[in-house]
Amino acid sequence: MPELRPAQVAHLAFYLRTPRCLDLSDPGTGKTPPACVYMYFHWKELRNRSVWTMPKSLLKKNLDELLLFSDFTPEDVIIVDGTPKKRTQQSKRSQEGTVGSA
The pLDDT of residue 101 is above 60 = no
Q: Is residue 11 classed exposed, middle or buried when 0-12, 13-18 and 19+ CB atoms within 10 A define those classes?
A: buried
When pLDDT is cut at 50, 70 and 90, the band that residue 10 belongs to is very high
The answer to whether 33 touches 23, Cβ cutoff 8 Å, is: no
Interatomic CA distance for residues 10 and 8, integer angstroms: 5
Domain ranges across the chain: 6-71, 78-102
When pLDDT is cut at 50, 70 and 90, the band that residue 45 belongs to is very high
